Chain A
Amino acid sequence: MKKLPSKSASLNPKEKKHAASAAPAQSSGLHLHTSTAVQKPAPAAYVMPPQLQAALNQVWQKSLPLLQQRVGVLDDALAATKAGQLNPELRAAAALEAHRLAGLLGTFGHPHGTDAARMFEIVFDSDAVLTPKLAESLSPALSTLHTIMSK
């Protein structure tokens, strides 16, 4: 798990106001090659108490097997697409797992993981005909997810 900012400083009202407005970035247009709703990192002045950091690490470690399973579904879907054998059930499962990964990885300090998973979600949740060429374009995103899962 990527370590989150941990500078020890308390929040003043101005910082609190800034933080309150620092909601995750929204994007109305979804494109495969653009960053989507990955929220801005917390301002450096924010405190990550060591106990919380440790607890988050524990949650990450506990969640890792399930997250790896989810990435495994994307593996299967991508392989099936490349082979021209993707069925609707696997496609739907891949879209769901990608959605879940996209919604979680950024929280653990992996915004690139959210980006990568979002690409899968966009593609598998669309009505587009999935060609082997399109599947090939997702390979770097899959590598990103595997790298994160191996940390």
Chain B
Amino acid sequence: MRKILIVDDEDDIRAVAALCLETIAGWEVCTATSGSEGIRRALETRPDAILLDVMMPEMDGPTTFQHLQQDPHTRSIPVLLLTAKVQGADQRRFADMGVAAVLSKPFDPLTLGLQISAALGWER
């Protein structure tokens, strides 16, 4: 079973994403409410992928991603950024950081798992 870590400071986003990925995709889901907690949870749980919100207080998604990249224990975990930023320049900047994919908010609850699988080349 795939295990995915959702890092988002918004309760409702975490709740919906977790529901969909557990119910539709059938994955194990763990969550974190901040970048720093996300780093800790990534070390503890060693997920197969991390769904990481861009805009968070204290430590934003890109900074969290950089920390994950610097740690040899988390460097190889694919990270998908989740963002409501719709401008092309933002999307390109995020993609250029080396993340596995940039997914847009609002996401479709029915196809979120499929989007993640497609981005990571996972068999369903």
Tell whether, in the assembled complex, residue A104 and residue B13 are in contact, meaning their CB atoms are under 8 Å apart. Answer: yes
| Complex CA–CA separation, A108 to B17 (angstroms) | 11
| Most chain A beta carbons < 10 A, residue from B10, B104, B115, B124 | B104
B88 contacts chain A at the CB level, 8 A cutoff = yes
Chain A nearest CB: distance from B92 CB in Å?
9
| Complex CA–CA separation, A102 to B20 (angstroms) | 19
Contact of A104 among B20, B103, B106, B114 (CB under 8 A): B106
Contacts of B109 in A (CB 8 A): 4, 52, 56, 107
Q: Is the interface of A mostly helix, strand, loop or mixed?
A: helix
Tell whether, in the assembled complex, residue B115 and residue A23 are in contact, meaning their CB atoms are under 8 Å apart. Answer: yes
B59 contacts chain A at the CB level, 8 A cutoff = no
| Complex CA–CA separation, A19 to B10 (angstroms) | 25
A83 contacts chain B at the CB level, 8 A cutoff = no
B45 contacts chain A at the CB level, 8 A cutoff = no
Tell whether, in the assembled complex, residue A59 and residue B16 are in contact, meaning their CB atoms are under 8 Å apart. Answer: yes
Tell whether, in the assembled complex, residue A28 and residue B106 are in contact, meaning their CB atoms are under 8 Å apart. Answer: no
B74 contacts chain A at the CB level, 8 A cutoff = no
Given contacts A56-B16, A56-B19, A100-B10, contact A38 B88 (CB under 8 A): no
Chain A nearest CB: distance from B83 CB in Å?
8
Tell whether, in the assembled complex, residue B19 and residue A63 are in contact, meaning their CB atoms are under 8 Å apart. Answer: no
Taking A51-B23, A62-B15, A107-B13 as known contacts, 13 extra A-B pairs with beta carbons closer than 8 A to each other, sorted by chain A number, are A19-B111, A20-B115, A24-B107, A28-B87, A30-B86, A39-B108, A48-B110, A52-B23, A102-B106, A104-B13, A106-B106, A107-B105, A114-B106
Please list the residues of chain B having a beta carbon within 8 angstroms of any beta carbon in chain A. 10-13, 15-16, 19-20, 23-24, 55, 83-84, 86-89, 91, 103-111, 114-115, 117-118, 124
